């Protein structure tokens, strides 16, 4: 009888301890993987972390840190995520309707892609490239700590190849934005992202050039060029200085092989922030529009661009209504020099639709001032 009582007591004790262990395990799993409290759809204020001007990338002999760049890498890595997207397969067609040359089963397969993103606000906002998420039916984000969260698109801007995502998650570490004027050729930079899906990777290089445009990548181009290794999967990741502050969003590479050849391009933080803030506030980017086409005017004596000559003026467009004519050469907008057609497009797009701007124009060799009410640039889809 005593043995049975002892045996029963032992069984009860084992069952109790097992129940406690299971309950503790479930609680830990719920805290780790359970749904986070829903964040407000649109917070009143999105606070961004900004680096003071004096905290920009170190230059000269002081840039050789005793421990390499581990501090900057650790700081930036906490704010960089992996982005995975999936495009649902198209509806399966009957055999007799299947596109010519399509292999069996191809119509039943979806497409997946990967990229990177940068956490910019504690409310769950993530900045990435538009081409990373374009056309995706499902988007998942691998957060630091290997936690996976479903993401939704807040807004996109195909003309700069930027997009803003949002996740419902707690304890996010937003990146700190560098002073845009701090980036100079020769500065040491780190590229943080997920190349080829191998996992988060940090590469190091320098700023090779700034202000790169006319590459045919985006409508609005003002790239930072770097030789830090950037490969497929790095798109949307962070380019940071030696303090771990964001200086650009990695976007493209020049490559004949598909891999890094030492020429990568990043969207500068100044442009990325301007687009991001508009998307968070309104869900889209509103740009100024003139309704013209133009060509560069080049001084024969120096070969230097000296304005943008209007080739066509759209009937009924903002420029036409203001009195601008084909043959006019725009040399300045609101006092800002217009050296070529790229500058004309950039300066006009930066104007607020509905406002008036002063255009300094050369017409038949004489200076003319024209006030133009800026229109709203039509949405252009990425090629």
Is 79 assigned a catalytic role? no
Distance separating alpha carbons of residues 341 and 307, to the nearest angstrom? 7
Candidates 56, 113, 116, 131; catalytic one: 131
Cβ-contact 132, 115 below 8 angstroms: yes
Q: Catalytic residue at 245? A: no
Residues in the chain: 383
Give yes or no for a contact between 184 and 176, defined as CB atoms under 8 angstroms apart. Answer: no
* H/E element, 274: helix 269-282
Asked if 131 is an active-site residue, the reply is: yes
Q: What angle do CA 67, 73, 79 make, to 5 degrees?
A: 150
Residue of 113, 116, 182, 235 marked active site: 235
Three-state SS letters, 217-253: CCCCCCEEEECCCCCCCCCCCEEECCCCCEEEEEEEE
312-319 long-range contacts (CB < 8 A, ≥24 apart) are 316/291, 317/289, 317/290, 317/291, 317/292, 317/375, 318/289, 318/290, 318/291, 318/372, 318/373, 318/374, 318/375, 319/290, 319/291, 319/292, 319/372
Closest CA to 167 of 327, 4, 38: 38
Taking the alpha carbons at both ends of the chain, their separation in whole angstroms is: 84
Question: 339, 306 in Cβ contact below 8 A?
Answer: yes
Rounded CA separation 152/171 (Å): 19
Alpha carbons 357 and 202: distance in angstroms, whole number:
44
> Which residue shows structure tokens 């962070």?
238
Spot the catalytic one: 161, 227, 328, 340: 161
Spatial CA neighbour of 187 closest among 93, 106, 72: 72
Q: What is the DSSP letter of 291?
A: -
| Active centre residues (catalytic) | 131, 161, 235
């Amino acid at each position: 009888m005593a043995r049975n009582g002892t045996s029963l007591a032992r069984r009860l004790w084992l069952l109790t301890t097992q129940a406690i262990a299971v309950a503790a395990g479930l609680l830990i799993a719920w805290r780790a993987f359970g749904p986070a409290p829903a964040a407000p759809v649109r917070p009143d204020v999105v606070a961004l972390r900004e680096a003071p001007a004096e905290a920009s990338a170190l230059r000269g002999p002081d840039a050789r840190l005793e421990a390499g760049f581990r501090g900057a890498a650790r700081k930036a890595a906490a704010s960089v995520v992996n982005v995975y997207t999936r495009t649902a397969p198209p509806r399966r067609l009957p055999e007799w309707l299947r596109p010519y040359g399509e292999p069996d089963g191809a119509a039943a397969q979806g497409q997946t892609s990967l990229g990177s993103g940068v956490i910019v606000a504690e409310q769950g906002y993530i900045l990435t490239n538009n081409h990373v998420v374009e056309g995706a039916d499902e988007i998942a984000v691998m957060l630091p700590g290997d936690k996976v969260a479903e993401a939704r698109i807040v807004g996109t801007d195909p003309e700069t190849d930027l997009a803003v995502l949002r996740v419902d998650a707690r304890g996010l570490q937003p990146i700190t934005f560098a002073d845009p004027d701090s980036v100079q050729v020769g500065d040491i930079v780190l590229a943080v992202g997920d190349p080829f899906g191998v996992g988060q990777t940090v590469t190091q290089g320098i700023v090779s050039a700034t202000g790169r445009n006319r590459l045919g990548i985006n409508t609005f181009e003002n790239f930072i060029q770097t030789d830090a290794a950037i490969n497929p999967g790095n798109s949307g990741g962070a380019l940071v200085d030696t303090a771990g502050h964001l200086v650009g969003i990695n976007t493209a590479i020049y490559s004949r092989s598909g891999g890094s050849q030492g020429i990568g391009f990043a969207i500068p933080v100044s442009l990325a922030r301007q687009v991001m803030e508009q998307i968070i506030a309104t869900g889209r980017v509103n740009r100024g529009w003139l309704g013209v086409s133009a060509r560069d005017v080049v001084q024969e004596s120096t070969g230097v661009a000296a304005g943008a000559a209007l080739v066509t003026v759209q009937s009924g467009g903002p420029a036409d209504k203001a009195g601008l004519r084909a043959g006019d050469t725009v040399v300045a907008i609101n006092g800002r020099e217009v050296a070529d057609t790229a500058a004309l497009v950039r300066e006009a797009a930066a104007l607020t639709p509905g406002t008036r701007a002063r255009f300094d124009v050369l017409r038949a060799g004489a200076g003319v001032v024209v006030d133009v009410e800026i229109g709203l640039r039509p949405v252009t889809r990425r090629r």
